[in-house]
Structure 1
Amino acid sequence: MEKKYILPMIPLRGLTVFPYTVLHFDVEREKSVKALEEAMMRNQLVFLTTQKQPEVDDPSIEDIYKVGTITKIKQMLKLPGNIIRVLVEGINRAEIKEIINSESFYEVEVIEKQTEEEIKKDAEIEALMRSVISAFEEYAEFAPKFPIDNLYNVTSIEEPGRLSDVITAHINLSPNQNHELMECFDVKKRLEKLLGFLFKEIEILNIARDINIKVRKKIDKAQKEYFLKEQLKVIKAELGETDEADQEVEEYRKKIEKADAPQEVKEKAYHELERLRKMSPGTAESSIIRTYLDWLIELPWNYETKDMLDLKRAEKILNEDHYGLQKVKERILEFLAVRSYYEKMKSPILCLVGPPGVGKTSFGRSIARAMDRKFVRMSLGGVRDEAEIRGHRRTYVGAIPGGIINSIKTAGSKNPVFLFDEIDKISSDFRGDPASAMLEVLDPEQNNTFRDHYLDLPFDLSKVLFITTANTLDTIPLPLIDRMEVIYISGYTEAEKIHIAKDYLIPRILKDHGVDENKIKIQDSAIIGIITEYTREAGVRLLEQNLSKIVRKAIKKIVEDDLRTIKIGKKNLQTYLGKPIYRFDKANLDNKIGMVTGLAWTRVGGDTLTIEASTMSGSGKLTLTGQLGDIMKESAEAGLSYIRANAEKYGIDKDFYKKLDIHVHVPEGATPKDGPSAGITIVTAMVSALKKIPVRGDTAMTGEITLTGKVLPIGGLKEKILAAHRAGIKKVVIPVENKRDLDEIPQSIKRRIDFKFVSNIDEVLKSVLVGDDEHDDKIS
């Protein structure tokens, strides 16, 4: 049966009041206060419903649910701040039919639905009630601090509608679930929904209980450990024992927590720390663990410096520190340019190959300064033990990490410029092959998980810019060369050396000796004199040593004679350096029979090579002296066979090999010599000796010869041409196929040397043998 009421209405925020329940709430809004006053003046009845959005301060009819509860006001209490606390009792559900007033307060006409007396209680409803009560009892077991008295009062209710409303008021449901039950006028459906909600809440409480049990166990274990540790501290204090070991372990633990390291590293560190905690502080093993933990904590696992990608600044720095070396500078600038577009680009692995003293090692430091990176250097000269690269395993006494990890720690970042110096000097013995260990380090596809034997943890080396230096590639294994980008650096010309001395070496030497630049002045003529008469090198190392010697002697003279300034020129150079060591004058360039100047490539640059040949009565024996290698001996034998086959062509007695012995000698016999490029030089010397015709002294040559007289190309042309220039050679004979290599020769050198390109030995002999027209005609 339906009943109509006209009642004041109070919209509640986040609260649902069900029939048959008693609760209190606070009223503060002006409309709600006036609705309370109106209800008290009438019959103390007020209609309570719920707002859809609690944050709305002045809700309209669209902002509230239409189904609510008719309640009776039991008590009102005024609190400070114009707040009224109201105690109400829910009577029955009702639904808003019409809004009567909404000006000063809400007044609505509501329709009350059927009462408990009108609900027929059948077997199905009875079964639902029992299921709900059983679920509610189970809920009460899990619910924290649920009053037992309330449980008894609830389960003794016999009216189904009242039972559902009272239980709903006692369980923790969401606002949407409460409203869903509030709008359900059908008692049977309401019980079914309530039962579903109860089962869901019980499941949630079950899960929460399991979680609480697990957390409690962990907390109890931690509390127990803490309690036992505190007891142990007190016991140790009573016994007079110190707790330095515990303090040390705690300090390590804090350091590990603060360390910016991968999780795998931290787990390893905690494992070792637990071992340390259980050990006696005085054992040898504890010292090993401490050292290991120090390495794990101090390594820059994730720290890297930020690259300076300003190309103009980088180019300026590279030019300030080094003269020339354009190929290397260009490669570094290319890397920086690409890095500015794509930061994840893998770093190149450069190998600078060239003679000593050209600035290979110091260039690595300049690259680091240009990129604003840390710089570390590791010399590989004479390294024989693989452990120097990968480290020793911790099972060995005195084990330490290898040089790579040690250098990374010194740098303090995971992306330094790392210079491997003298990589061609690595050797191997029974302790392993260090060159093979370098294969992983210098491979961008593998070095992101480089594993040092001591650490036994992967370390990322992919961000490191590796640079290697070498004098030659001959002794480097091919797989290692394949992993590197080889850049050849040739020796310097005389003009370049003068420029380097004036702009780089002299200012640095004066600064190192604390001398003002105006105090000691070294003139260009002195620099030229040092280059031509006191040094014979591809680089500038000896030049720097001689300049330093001059500065030291000049300082001594300034102090002894109390001089203001000193000038060093060509005239007084011998005063500081003594007599010249080398002389390149016309006496050395005279035309001589059987003496030819060849050009050779060595690990320290190019060099001139004098080859002498003489004949004597004998039976055709060929004697080779001067510590010649097998290849060079074979070239001499091939050359002699060619001369025998073409003796008449050159005006030589065809039976000379039966009457004469030939002796070919290369001076400086203590120095080993080898290679095929002296072929045409040896042939020219033998032809000159056999024909008794002199060879031009101002001419040098290089080229391999075949049995048919063809001249084959050679390598190291730039170094050889620079050596010829240093020796004062005016003309150089080279294979025609090497003509393309002249692009690498500086123009200043090309202008001073006359190049003769040859394809066969006839052209060689015609251009270097000094004779009359008859001889020239025979050769041509």
Structure 2
Amino acid sequence: MADNEIIVPLLPLRGLLVYPTMVLHLDVGRDKSVQALEKAMVEDHLIFLTTQKDISLDEPGEDDIYKMGTLTKVKQMLKLPNGTIRVLVEGLNRAEINAFYDNDTHFSAKLEVYEDSPEKEIEHQALMRTLLEYFEQYIKMSKKISSETFSSTSDIEEPGRLADIIASHLPLKLKEKQEILETIDVKKRLSRVIEIINNEKEVLNLEKKIGQRVKRSMERTQKEYYLREQMKAIQKELGDKEGKTGEIAQLTEKIDDTGMPEHVKETAFKELDRYEKVPSSSAESAVIRNYIDWLVSIPWSKATKDDLNIHKAEKILDREHHGLEKVKERVLEYLAVQQLTNSLKGPILCLAGPPGVGKTSLAKSIASSMNRNFVRVSLGGVRDESEIRGHRRTYVGAMPGRIIQGMKKAATVNPVFLIDEIDKMSNDFRGDPSSAMLEVLDPEQNHNFSDHYIEEAYDLSKVMFIATANNLATIPGPLRDRMEIISIAGYTEIEKLHIAKDHLLIRQLNEHGLQKSQLQIRDDALMSIIRLYTRESGVRSLERQLASICRKTAKIIVSGEKKRVIVNEKNIVDFLGKPIFHYGQAELEDQVGVATGLAYTTVGGDTLQIEVSLSPGKGKLVLTGKLGDVMKESAQAAFSYVRSKTEELNIDANFHEKHDIHIHVPEGAVPKDGPSAGITIATALISALTGRPIRKEVGMTGEITLRGRVLPIGGLKEKSLSAHRAGLTKIILPKDNEKDIDDIPESVRNELEFVLVSHVDEVLEHALAGDKA
């Protein structure tokens, strides 16, 4: 209840609060505070103590102090040598400021004083017992308050005083203490202190649990440290200076430096932890170590910067490879799109063609032109799926597949990756490797390639894959569908001549220690080597013949016979012996029943003499020269066409009843097949039956139908080159092949006359000479 209002000196406290009935010492140093004390001592020793809201203020005002404080009595005052006054005060009652006075010398305030009611209710007693019980439990848990404090507290009978005394012993913030001081109602004050002490008990419980956990962790850490130190000492005695400790540190650093994705890094550290715990003598230790080594040796983020200068790339490709225009154009297209988007997925190119045409060296040039690392993996003879996907780690001697091994060699995530001999894979009971290659070569899937050994997804989408194949027919359809096929049919004689001069001869001179001045091979000699000593689509045999000439030249120079060797068409036999091959040549004069056809072979084009002879008989048709089924059918079709056109061609309608007809294609040991000899057989047959000779300078190619229509054929470029080589000047070809004439080298195109025909009548008009004999 409120008592009479009084005016007393006011002393602001910093970071301190005094409850009623409390006795404590204060050190006072501020001028106004000292003056307030002296004023109190002069009068009735009463002074009002209240707390500053902000303890940093040296000269607080009315708004900087709490309204509710404690009216106290100054018991004792002592001046210290440093000028500070030490005072002993005793709290009397709660009091609230009604009016604040700022005198020149000190502060004073008009106060309304509150006293706790002396009446004690049953509820008061219940709250007091609860508070004492909680306080006792708190003292036991805290161990910061002595048991004597509890004994003296338990003797207090006034409820309000008990709440104040216990609150003064609790480690509360200033605001919480002020809140209790401002609580006038005794019941509310007791309840609030009970609530606070209960919270403090929970905090102490948590502190205890945390402390125990920390202690256990420290004990475990100390134990591990002790054991590691012991291990180091043992390893040192055994001569192993570092042991696993240094190794683990190195591997940890490597894992951090690889730039691998977080989920892979997590796996790596998990395996490293296992490796640290497994004894070195255990077989599992080597398995885990091998796995970690693979994880840190594969490139995860390291990449080379693409050189997207399309003109520079074009120069490199042209310098290192003669011809192959379509392949070069495709690579330059890729670079151009990459320069515009900088996000194109790596293309999957398949270079298909005969051996020796430069598929592998072209892939190296592509890598060089793009400033990328190059890696080659051969799949010839691979028949086990695990060769591609790797073995599971449960197997002895397990390791990753060829793709991951290749990426390790490449050391970057964006190399040019050559998959050689992709058509030579086979399958057996161990699985189908071509099916495993589907994921590698699918741009939609290979960003998430799964190797059985690595077990973590690996991104192959930045790799430029280039596959090579000799025969597309042996590549499964689904695998072929994922690749962009670029056919390299082979080199023409002119292209081989340039390759020999610009690349092969220079390389062989260097390998055999010869200078350019010591050996000169003229163009006519090179052409003779190409025509008479090799028969191939590529240039491997050509390079071997050049190597043979270099060896013989080296012997001549070392023995002192000559200082310089010149090889020409006349003396080539001295170096390489008699010619191994021959090539078809034009007839010297027009002949009856002999037509010159043009053929395409795996090693280029050639001319084919088709001979027809008539002999008395009963219309028997004989075909010789090791002809295939398709070629035999072409001969049958030509024969049927001639029989249906006897009147127009001025041929005896019953010729087939009077004569046996023999059609022969020379070089009977060489298998020959294909439909493109149709018009050639028909022309030779008509020439034999009519007696009209066939022009010696004419070569022809085209498929024939029973009605005499001429259908298109393939390999026109190679056939035209063989015609030019043989000395022919006119070529008869199907009209539908007009678009293919542009593929023929300009130098050859200018020396040949191309006659486009759609019917056999047009063929005869250009092929047959003179009248009926």
TM-score between the two structures when normalised by the length of structure 1 = 0.78
Give the equivalent residue in structure 2 for 1:435. Answer: 434
Kept in 2: contact 1:693–1:770 (CA 8 A): yes
Q: CA deviation at 1:300?
A: 1.0
Structure 2 CA distance, aligned partners of 1:450 and 1:760? Answer: 56
Give the equivalent residue in structure 1 for 2:52. Answer: 49
Q: CA deviation at 1:363?
A: 1.9
Structure 1 CA distance, aligned partners of 2:338 and 2:139? Answer: 66
Give the equivalent residue in structure 2 for 1:656. Answer: 655
Give the equivalent residue in structure 2 for 1:766. Answer: 765
How do 1:438-457 and structure 2 match up within 5 A?
Answer: 438-457=437-456
Q: CA deviation at 1:352?
A: 1.4
2:302 to 277, 301, 304: 304
Structure 1 CA distance, aligned partners of 2:516 and 2:98? Answer: 103
CA deviations 1:679-704 (Å, max 9, x no partner) are: 33333343334444443444433333
Structure 1 CA distance, aligned partners of 2:566 and 2:518? Answer: 9
Structure 1 CA distance, aligned partners of 2:723 and 2:62? Answer: 103
Kept in 2: contact 1:125–1:160 (CA 8 A): yes
How do 1:520-539 and structure 2 match up within 5 A?
Answer: 520-539=519-538
The residue matched to 1:677 in structure 2 has which SS?
Answer: coil
How do 1:84-95 and structure 2 match up within 5 A?
Answer: none
Instruction: Flag the 1:412–1:112 CA change in 2: closer, same or farther, 3 A.
Output: farther
The residue matched to 2:473 in structure 1 has which SS?
Answer: coil
Q: CA deviation at 1:420?
A: 0.9
Q: CA deviation at 1:138?
A: 6.2
Q: CA deviation at 1:439?
A: 1.6
Further displaced range: 715-724 or 375-384: 715-724
Q: CA deviation at 1:462?
A: 2.9
Q: CA deviation at 1:361?
A: 0.7
Instruction: Flag the 1:491–1:647 CA change in 2: closer, same or farther, 3 A.
Output: same
Root-mean-square deviation (CA, aligned residues, Å) is: 4.9
Q: CA deviation at 1:560?
A: 2.7
The residue matched to 1:676 in structure 2 has which SS?
Answer: coil
Give the equivalent residue in structure 2 for 1:641. Answer: 640
Give the equivalent residue in structure 1 for 2:702. Answer: 703
CA deviations 1:124-159 (Å, max 9, x no partner) are: 676666666666666667668676666667777666
Structure 1 CA distance, aligned partners of 2:177 and 2:321? Answer: 82
Instruction: Flag the 1:388–1:42 CA change in 2: closer, same or farther, 3 A.
Output: same
1:251 to 247, 254, 257: 247
Q: CA deviation at 1:643?
A: 2.5
Q: CA deviation at 1:418?
A: 1.4
Give the equivalent residue in structure 1 for 2:747. Answer: 748
Kept in 2: contact 1:598–1:608 (CA 8 A): yes
Instruction: Flag the 1:525–1:634 CA change in 2: closer, same or farther, 3 A.
Output: closer
Q: CA deviation at 1:479?
A: 0.6
CA deviations 1:27-50 (Å, max 9, x no partner) are: 9xxxx8666766776669875424
Identical columns (%): 45
CA deviations 1:574-610 (Å, max 9, x no partner) are: 4444445556686557544444444444445545444
Instruction: Flag the 1:730–1:98 CA change in 2: closer, same or farther, 3 A.
Output: farther
Kept in 2: contact 1:128–1:191 (CA 8 A): yes
CA deviations 1:461-497 (Å, max 9, x no partner) are: 3332211012332221111111112223343344444
How many positions carry a matched residue from both structures? Answer: 753
Structure 1 CA distance, aligned partners of 2:731 and 2:178? Answer: 106
Structure 2 CA distance, aligned partners of 1:75 and 1:624? Answer: 142
Kept in 1: contact 2:619–2:656 (CA 8 A): yes
Q: CA deviation at 1:194?
A: 6.1
Instruction: Flag the 1:85–1:4 CA change in 2: closer, same or farther, 3 A.
Output: closer
How do 1:337-486 and structure 2 match up within 5 A?
Answer: 337-339=336-338, 345-393=344-392, 398-486=397-485
Kept in 2: contact 1:94–1:110 (CA 8 A): no
Structure 1 CA distance, aligned partners of 2:118 and 2:601? Answer: 114
Which letter does structure 1 place at the counterpart of 2:308? D
Which letter does structure 1 place at the counterpart of 2:52? T
CA deviations 1:313-334 (Å, max 9, x no partner) are: 4444434433343443343344
Structure 1 CA distance, aligned partners of 2:64 and 2:172? Answer: 19
Further displaced range: 16-25 or 217-226: 16-25
Instruction: Flag the 1:180–1:217 CA change in 2: closer, same or farther, 3 A.
Output: same
CA deviations 1:704-750 (Å, max 9, x no partner) are: 33222222233444444445445554333332223223344443343
Give the equivalent residue in structure 1 for 2:711. Answer: 712
The residue matched to 2:52 in structure 1 has which SS?
Answer: strand
Instruction: Flag the 1:128–1:668 CA change in 2: closer, same or farther, 3 A.
Output: farther
Q: CA deviation at 1:535?
A: 3.9
Kept in 1: contact 2:101–2:107 (CA 8 A): yes
Structure 2 CA distance, aligned partners of 1:25 and 1:505? Answer: 105
CA deviations 1:76-115 (Å, max 9, x no partner) are: 9999xx9x9999989567679769499xx9x766676654
Structure 2 CA distance, aligned partners of 1:442 and 1:590? Answer: 57
Instruction: Flag the 1:736–1:232 CA change in 2: closer, same or farther, 3 A.
Output: same
The residue matched to 2:755 in structure 1 has which SS?
Answer: strand
The residue matched to 1:409 in structure 2 has which SS?
Answer: helix
Note the residue ranges of structure 1 that are not aligned, 5 or more in a row. Answer: 776-780
Kept in 2: contact 1:245–1:277 (CA 8 A): no
The residue matched to 2:472 in structure 1 has which SS?
Answer: coil
TM-score between the two structures when normalised by the length of structure 2 = 0.79
The residue matched to 2:427 in structure 1 has which SS?
Answer: coil
CA deviations 1:336-388 (Å, max 9, x no partner) are: 44445655543211111233333211122222233333322112233333343
Kept in 2: contact 1:510–1:517 (CA 8 A): yes
Instruction: Flag the 1:559–1:158 CA change in 2: closer, same or farther, 3 A.
Output: farther
Which letter does structure 1 place at the counterpart of 2:694? V
Instruction: Flag the 1:646–1:300 CA change in 2: closer, same or farther, 3 A.
Output: same
Instruction: Flag the 1:654–1:101 CA change in 2: closer, same or farther, 3 A.
Output: farther
Kept in 1: contact 2:116–2:186 (CA 8 A): no
Structure 1 CA distance, aligned partners of 2:151 and 2:131? Answer: 14
CA deviations 1:1-44 (Å, max 9, x no partner) are: 4666654657x6xx5756478999999xxxx8666766776669
